[in-house]
């Protein structure tokens, strides 16, 4: 199962490119290994907290969890 996770990082200069460092807690939780391919979705925000509550039409996490659990029975 794929789970998404939001976290905030700083963009840093890396040679002629820009890069980000994935926090070790995320690496451990997602069990990431060197060489694995991952997908990133990038939002430029002043504060990650600004994202939450911005989309009131989306169902809540609890609502989605209830829907998914119905399929487990």
For the chain, the domains span 12-70
Tell me if the pTM is above 0.85: no
pLDDT at 61 over 60: yes
Question: What's the chain's length in residues?
Answer: 73
- HEC string of 25-64 equals HHHHHHCCCCCCCCCCCCCCCCCHHHCCCCCCCCCCHHHH
Question: Is residue 3 classed as helix, strand or coil in its secondary structure?
Answer: coil
pLDDT computed for residue 51 by the predictor: 61
Quickly state the pLDDT bin for 48 (edges 50, 70, 90).
low
Structure confidence by residue, pLDDT tens digits, 8-18: 888 999 899 99
For a pLDDT cut of 70, what percent of the chain falls above it? 71
pLDDT at 2 over 70: no
Give CA–CA dist 73/70, Å, rounded: 6
């Amino acid at each position: 199962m794929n789970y998404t996770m939001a976290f905030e990082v700083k963009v840093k200069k890396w040679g002629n490119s820009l890069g980000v460092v994935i926090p070790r807690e995320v690496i451990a939780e997602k069990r990431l290994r060197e060489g694995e391919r991952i997908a990133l979705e990038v939002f430029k925000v002043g504060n990650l907290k600004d994202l939450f509550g911005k989309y009131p039409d989306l169902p809540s996490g609890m609502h989605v969890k209830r829907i998914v659990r119905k399929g487990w029975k």
